[in-house]
Amino acid sequence: MKSIVPYQKLTQQALPKSMQGYVSVTSKGKKSIFSRKSPPKSAKAFHATKTDLKEARSALESTGVQIVAESRLGFAIAGPPQAFEELCDGKVVTVDRLMHAEGGRERYVTHLDIVGDKQPSMLGHGKVKSSKMKIEGLLIERPRLLQSIFPSPIPPFVDQFHLRVPDDIAVGLGARKDLLNGFMGEGIIVSMVDSGQYAHPFFAAHHYDVLPAKTVVTGTSSTKDPVGHGTGESANIFAIAPETKLQPIRATDENGNLVGAIGGFLLAKQDSPAILTNSWGGDGPYPPTGPPDTYDIAWAAEIIDAVENGIFVVFSASNGGFTIEPQVPGVLAAGGVYMTGDLEMQASNYASGYPSPWFENVIVPDVCGLVGLSPRAQYIMLPVQPGCELDIFESQPSPNDPNDDGTMANDGWALFSGTSAAAPQIAGIAALILSAKPGLSSAQLTEAMTKTAVDIHTGRCHPRFNYPAEIGHDNATGHGLVDASDAVQYALDHF
Amino acid sequence: MTDDYFEAILIWSEKGPSTAVNDWFIKRGLKVAPMHKGLLISGKQSIFENAFQVEPLGPDRPLALPVPAEISDHVFTITVMKPRRF
């Protein structure tokens, strides 16, 4: 089947400080190895003379290239991109190419190439600037993938109580496969603006469909997630809707700062996904000192426009923050409920909850997903890029929490949640409903979830707002904890 | 000094959108994307500072930028975005 994404594309990622290559020195047989159409039966004709090897070495070293090893045919070399550019009188660029990678799944892997007027078109093949160098040609090392699986696709076991993806999330939210009548989100695209998407083997092992990430900030990698937040939280979507397609949008800079959130939202919106989930927001005084400023009004108009374009927009309620996004009418605001091992439920004191002071009849949240408790909601074991910010942070005590999550700082797994987990869980439920009943509006999806949510009447939301969960609709948990199979059934029965 | 990436929201004045405004930013190396009521302008801090001829931008957000005279007919405000967090 033809891929809907290009096999190869020029990108603008940061170049490495050092790159590796191979040069073939002029062959004794006078025919260049690069002129052949197939591998030779013997390498002897392509041996270099000692004199040519010496001259080539000297030419290489004069450009700042370091010789790593020598053979009878040429050299393994290393050096900064500038040295390779000097050697070839060309420019080093980054190119993403689709490769079969971990677990047999395809993903983009970044390659390096040299381009310029006299440079060959083959990826990674360069021509040196002068024949006097006694060099037939240069190859830049192509990325090779290790034939083993790291990090493990299986979440590690740790002592403290926690939920595991996908099964515990599916059980807690009524999304066990046997309850879903075959509706598992097939073909529904969920776009997620976040910190990036690392190709963790967890996704491949479960055959989840993750499209290549799009990036907002020039120069950032579409295959990296320096924070781990996007990769980890996206597992919540698939825990509910395993057959959905995820379109990750990376809105962070090279250091993982969320600097392109609005750009990410606009980029996602441009593709008109069925569902757009966002696990981020700002913060401001609560209660606010006045109405939203012109800035927030302009931004809110953009969100409303997405809803009016038929996109089901989910925003996390925030973890103690007060921000405009989840309050925007038409957006589904995702709050938090904590479920124990005995399936007892209470409002999460980590999640924001309040009646909107800016919009009439809006309560944040509308409904809730599964979220941990203060001090840092270490609750769901989620896959992350090994050694990323969350992998390290959660594995160590913090100033307000003497405990760690029991995982290693570089094992590619971390225990976290927040309303950041609730938003993709709810996005997953929307995907289930749409696969059962295509074409429903945002209002109908919201109705299906709010009418079937499990009422929560114990606990309080974040102490900044301090509302209690009460019988019926309340300011701490909205309509309560979402129930996937009941919401799907409601949609089938009522729309 | 770090050269951070910024997003700013431009809101059109009553005169409404103008391609000359888009071009003004693009010419100065900033990216623009249409929004419902304005433009999203993005780029590195140094490019913003050069374009708007301002001193190094401080950390306070939201931050109103001075609207350049050449485009002021069509522009109501330009504001650097408040930080968003996960």
DSSP character at residue A329: T
Q: Is position A151 within any domain?
A: no
Give CA–CA dist A331/A344, Å, rounded. Answer: 28
Residues A376 and A262 in one domain: yes
The residue from A106, A140, A174 where one domain ends is A140
Q: What is the pLDDT of residue A103?
A: 60
A-chain CB neighbours of B57 within 8 Å are none
The count of structural domains within chain A is 2
Confidence of residue B47 (pLDDT cuts 50, 70, 90): very high
Give CA–CA dist A39/A31, Å, rounded. Answer: 13
Q: What is the pLDDT of residue B71?
A: 96
The residue from A81, A107, A140 where one domain ends is A140
Residues A118 and A202 in one domain: no
Question: CA of B63, closest CA in chain A: separation in Å?
Answer: 10
- Closest-CA residue to A254 (of B57, B56, B3): B3
Proportion of chain A in helix, strand, coil states, percent, rounded to 5:
25, 25, 50
For chain A, say whether B35 makes contact (Cβ under 8 Å): yes
Q: Is position A384 within any domain?
A: yes
Residues A168 and A97 in one domain: no
Candidates A229, A253, A284; nearest CB to B86: A229
For chain A, say whether B57 makes contact (Cβ under 8 Å): no
Residue of A nearest to B76 (CA): A294
- Quick check: A295 and B86 CB within 8 A? no
* CATH number for the domain harbouring residue A370: 3.40.50.200
Residue A283 in tokens = 């913060």
Candidates A253, A298, A321; nearest CB to B38: A298
pLDDT in tens, chain A (495 residues): 455 678 888 888 888 889 999 999 999 988 899 989 899 999 999 999 999 999 999 999 999 999 999 999 999 999 999 999 999 999 999 998 888 776 666 778 899 999 999 899 999 999 999 989 999 999 999 888 766 678 999 999 999 999 999 999 999 999 999 999 999 999 999 999 999 999 999 999 999 999 999 999 988 999 999 999 999 999 999 999 999 999 999 999 999 999 999 999 999 999 999 999 999 999 999 999 999 988 899 999 999 999 999 999 999 999 999 999 999 999 999 999 999 999 999 999 999 999 999 999 999 999 999 999 999 999 999 999 999 999 999 999 999 999 999 999 999 999 999 999 999 999 999 999 999 999 999 999 999 999 999 999 999 999 999 999 999 999 999 999 999 999 999 999 999
Return the sign of the alpha-carbon dihedral for residues B23, B24, B29, B32: negative
B-chain CB neighbours of A279 within 8 Å are 86
- Residue type for position A228: G
What does the longest C-alpha to C-alpha distance in chain A come to?
89
Domain extents for chain B? 5-80
- Quick check: B40 and A227 CB within 8 A? no
| Statement: residue B1 has pLDDT above 70 | no
Residue A44 in tokens = 């002897």
| Residue keyed to tokens 């330009």 | B78
Give CA–CA dist A316/A350, Å, rounded. Answer: 12
DSSP-assigned letters across all residues of A239-296: HH-TT-EEEEEE-B-TT--B--HHHHHHHHHHT--SEEEE--B----SS-SSSPPHHH
Residues A248 and A118 in one domain: no
Range of the domain at A424: 163-494
Q: Is position A3 within any domain?
A: no
- Residue type for position A492: L
C-beta separation of A208 from A103 below 8 A:
no
Residues A371 and A479 in one domain: yes
Residues of A with CB under 8 A from a CB of B: 194-195, 216-217, 227, 229, 253, 257-263, 266-267, 279-284, 293-295, 297-299, 301-302, 304-305, 321, 418, 420
A-chain CB neighbours of B77 within 8 Å are 294-295
Give CA–CA dist A64/A78, Å, rounded. Answer: 9
Residue of A nearest to B12 (CA): A298
Question: CA of B34, closest CA in chain A: separation in Å?
Answer: 9
The residue from A78, A105, A140 where one domain ends is A140
ipTM higher than the 0.90 cut:
no
In sequence order, the 6+-apart residues with CB closer than 8 A to the CB of B56 are: B1, B45, B49
Residues A405 and A475 in one domain: yes
Give pairs for A35-38: CB < 8 Å, separation 24+: none
Residues A93 and A192 in one domain: no
Q: Is position A187 within any domain?
A: yes
B-chain CB neighbours of A293 within 8 Å are 62
Question: CA of A27, closest CA in chain B: separation in Å?
Answer: 48
User: Left if phi > 0, otherwise alpha if psi is -120 to 50, otherwise beta: which for A412?
Assistant: left
- Quick check: A260 and B33 CB within 8 A? no
Residues A190 and A268 in one domain: yes
What does the longest C-alpha to C-alpha distance in chain B come to?
39
Q: What is the pLDDT of residues B58-68, one digit of tens each?
A: 777 888 999 99
Q: Is position A268 within any domain?
A: yes
Residues A134 and A181 in one domain: no
B-chain CB neighbours of A254 within 8 Å are none
A-chain CB neighbours of B6 within 8 Å are 259
Give CA–CA dist A423/A428, Å, rounded. Answer: 9
Residues A113 and A217 in one domain: no
Residues A115 and A185 in one domain: no
C-beta separation of A365 from A478 below 8 A:
yes
Q: What is the pLDDT of residue A102?
A: 63
Candidates A281, A297, A418; nearest CB to B84: A281
Candidates B7, B9, B76; nearest CB to A260: B7
For chain A, say whether B42 makes contact (Cβ under 8 Å): yes
B-chain CB neighbours of A262 within 8 Å are 7, 9, 40, 81
Give CA–CA dist A314/A327, Å, rounded. Answer: 11
Q: For domain B5-80, say whether CATH 3.30.70 is its number.
A: yes
Q: What is the pLDDT of residue A104?
A: 63
C-beta separation of A169 from A382 below 8 A:
no
∠A150-A151-A155 over CA atoms, to 5°?
140
Residues A385 and A325 in one domain: yes
B-chain CB neighbours of A257 within 8 Å are 4-5
How close are the terminal C-alpha atoms of chain A, in Å? 35
In sequence order, the 6+-apart residues with CB closer than 8 A to the CB of A270 are: none
